[in-house]
């Protein structure tokens, strides 16, 4: 497959053709968590709280897989744009090998660390036992998730977005079919409760990974995974991690944020912890279209940057910005028009729903402006500028929001935490745009 379309096709059709399959993929990926949470919520509010407690570490594992995958993606796109096929093969092979190592290490660390982590945020032993039932299954097979994500980024790097979409859909269909069967013991399956939700999720991930592997062998790709390229290359490894580590931290910062905010919210009530967990389930769905666009433009930015098409890179960035702002405005409207229905997907408790609606309305005030940070950060990753992208995320998820949440919660209780989201989005948007312009000034000339 010839990748020259990335620098020849008209910008808007190109961005849409690359992004729409990723929007669908992100929707499917988000539904993994939504479906799990919907059925688990039918068990009890304690079970839903257990998922909320596990979510930060589950998100951390995904973040490491996606973050390093972005490093693989950026290098492959750059080398293909620069017509350096041998280096593209090498980046693919070494990147996949390192991903396997990451998956093994994550499995060990998560299984050993979860009991202590959970007790930092809850003293309810029943809730903790439910959380461990779920996490023990999910993290035992963390390597499957990580390898699947790495394959996804390789296919995206060469413009095979529809493969990612197809693989995600196959995994999701597996998950959604098995979820109620395994949770509630329908048909030949025993009643497994929250453990059944975890098994259904893992089996969905197995199916997604299998689809990538089968398509890799059946339909030849421009890049190959070969043992002959599995030779230690310090420069290649350094370049992979120079993008992968900042991108991983970018993706992992929400986990740190959730844990910090859980600590603040737990002072008021465990219901607020549950609401934060519910919000992040919804947030992935609300942001999915914007994130799909960012995933679509990363290989375009990397390829055109490698090919020396710097003006085209800027046009891609501006087109993506307009699309993401439009999408997030729609997300804001939904958060204000149907908040009760959205929160009601995960709990029937009137008090919890009331708290959740208030949180959603506060936080959604920052949705549209957050598109600036999201687009700038994603474009910088596509350019291989991992550190500036990381600084944007640090500003958004740590430097501003955590102190703001603590201070505001002293004045307006838990609502101060929700208000802190808005403060962080506005301040970070200004910083993100300045950072992007500063780091692309030379290329734009």
Structural domain includes residue 4: no
Q: If you search the block for the tokens 């339909």, which residue do you land on? A: 219
Structural domain includes residue 388: yes
Distance separating alpha carbons of residues 62 and 79, to the nearest angstrom: 26
3-state DSSP percent of the chain in helix, strand and coil, to 5: 85, 0, 15
Structural domain includes residue 269: yes
Structural domain includes residue 3: no
Helices (H) and strands (E) in the chain, counts: 18, 0
Structural domain includes residue 394: yes
Kindly write down the DSSP assignment for every residue of 349-413, as one continuous string.
Answer: -HHHHHHHHHHHHHHHTTHHHHHHHHHHHHHHHHTT-HHHHHHHHHIIIIITHHHHHHHHHHHHT
Could you tell me which of 252, 210, 296 has the C-alpha nearest to residue 24? 296
Structural domain includes residue 1: no
Q: If you search the block for the tokens 């029937």, which residue do you land on? A: 348
Could you tell me which of 73, 36, 233 has the C-alpha nearest to residue 155? 73
Count: domains in the chain: 1
Kindly write down the DSSP assignment for every residue of 118-185, as one continuous string.
Answer: HHTT---HHHHHHHHHHHHHHHHTHHHHHHHHHHHHHHHHTT-HHHHHHHHHHHHHHHHHHHHHHHHT
Could you tell me which of 14, 244, 40, 256 has the C-alpha nearest to residue 149? 244
Q: What is the mean pLDDT of each run of 10 residues along the chain (445 residues)?
A: 62 80 72 72 82 83 86 85 86 91 93 90 86 93 92 86 86 88 89 90 93 91 85 85 80 80 84 83 76 83 79 87 90 88 80 87 91 90 82 88 92 91 94 90 51
Task: Enter the pTM of the model.
Answer: 0.71
Distance separating alpha carbons of residues 419 and 131, to the nearest angstrom: 29
Could you tell me which of 96, 83, 28 has the C-alpha nearest to residue 295? 28
Structural domain includes residue 2: no
CB 152 within 8 A of CB 26: no
Question: In this predicted structure, what is the pLDDT of residue 3?
Answer: 55
Question: In this predicted structure, what is the pLDDT of residue 105?
Answer: 94
Question: In this predicted structure, what is the pLDDT of residue 208?
Answer: 92
Distance separating alpha carbons of residues 375 and 380, to the nearest angstrom: 9
CA atoms within 13 A on the CB side of 70: 33
Q: What is the distance of C-alpha 80 from the center of its chain?
A: 25
Domain that holds residue 111: 9-444
Distance separating alpha carbons of residues 134 and 195, to the nearest angstrom: 5
CB 368 within 8 A of CB 330: no
Compute the C-alpha angle 402/331/392, nearest 5°. 35
Give tens-digit pLDDT for 178-197: 988 999 998 888 889 889 98
- Written as six digits, the tokens of 79 are 């080398």
Distance separating alpha carbons of residues 17 and 391, to the nearest angstrom: 30
Cα–Cα distances (Å) from 346 to 34, 169, 263, 377, in that order, read: 9, 23, 22, 31
Could you tell me which of 368, 367, 387, 369 has the C-alpha nearest to residue 377? 387
Chain length of the chain:
445
Distance separating alpha carbons of residues 372 and 324, to the nearest angstrom: 8
Question: In this predicted structure, what is the pLDDT of residue 427?
Answer: 95
Could you tell me which of 205, 208, 47 has the C-alpha nearest to residue 134? 47
CB 179 within 8 A of CB 39: yes
Q: Residue 288: enclosing H or E segment and its boundaries?
A: helix 288-306
Distance separating alpha carbons of residues 64 and 244, to the nearest angstrom: 8
Q: What is the CA radius of gyration of the chain?
A: 21
- Written as six digits, the tokens of 320 are 């993506």
Structural domain includes residue 69: yes
CB 392 within 8 A of CB 81: no
Q: If you search the block for the tokens 């839903």, which residue do you land on? A: 48
């Amino acid at each position: 497959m010839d990748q020259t379309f990335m620098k020849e096709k008209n910008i808007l059709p190109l961005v849409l053709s690359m992004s729409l399959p990723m929007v669908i993929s992100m929707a499917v990926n988000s539904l993994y968590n939504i479906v799990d949470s919907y059925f688990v919520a039918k068990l009890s509010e304690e079970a839903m709280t257990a998922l909320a407690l596990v979510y930060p570490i589950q998100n951390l594992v995904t973040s490491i897989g996606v973050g390093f995958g972005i490093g693989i993606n950026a290098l492959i796109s750059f080398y293909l744009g620069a017509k350096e096929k041998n280096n593209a093969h090498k980046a693919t092979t070494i990147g996949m090998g390192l991903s396997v190592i990451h998956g093994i290490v994550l499995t060990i660390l998560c299984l050993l660390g979860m009991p202590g982590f959970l007790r930092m945020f809850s003293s309810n032993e029943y809730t903790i036992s439910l959380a461990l039932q779920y996490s023990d299954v999910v993290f035992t097979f963390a390597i499957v998730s990580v390898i699947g994500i790495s394959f996804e980024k390789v296919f995206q790097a060469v413009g095979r977005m529809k493969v990612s979409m197809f693989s995600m859909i196959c995994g999701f269909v597996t998950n959604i079919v098995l979820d109620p069967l395994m949770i509630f013991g329908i048909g030949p399956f025993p009643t497994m409760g929250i453990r059944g939700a975890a098994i259904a999720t893992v089996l969905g991930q197995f199916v997604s990974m299998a689809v990538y592997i089968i398509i890799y062998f059946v339909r030849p790709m421009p890049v190959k995974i070969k043992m002959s390229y599995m030779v230690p290359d310090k420069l290649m490894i350094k370049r992979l991690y120079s993008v992968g580590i900042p991108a991983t931290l970018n993706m992992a910062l929400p986990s740190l944020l959730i844990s910090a905010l859980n600590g603040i919210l737990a002072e008021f009530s465990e219901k607020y912890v549950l609401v934060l967990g519910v919000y992040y389930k919804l947030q992935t769905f609300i942001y999915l279209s914007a994130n799909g666009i960012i995933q679509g433009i990363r290989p375009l930015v990397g390829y055109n940057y490698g090919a020396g098409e710097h003006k085209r890179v800027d046009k891609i960035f501006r087109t993506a910005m307009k699309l993401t702002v439009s999408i997030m405005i729609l997300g804001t409207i939904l958060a204000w028009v149907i908040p009760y229905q959205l929160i009601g997907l995960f709990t029937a408790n009137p008090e919890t729903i009331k708290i959740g609606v208030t949180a959603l309305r506060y936080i959604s005030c920052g949705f549209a402006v957050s598109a600036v940070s999201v687009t700038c950060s994603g474009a910088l990753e596509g350019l291989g500028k991992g550190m500036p992208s990381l600084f944007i995320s640090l500003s958004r998820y740590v430097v501003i929001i955590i102190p703001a949440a603590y201070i505001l919660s002293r004045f307006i209780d838990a609502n101060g935490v929700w208000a802190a989201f808005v403060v962080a989005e506005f301040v970070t948007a200004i910083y993100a745009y300045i950072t992007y312009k500063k780091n692309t000034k030379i290329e734009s000339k």
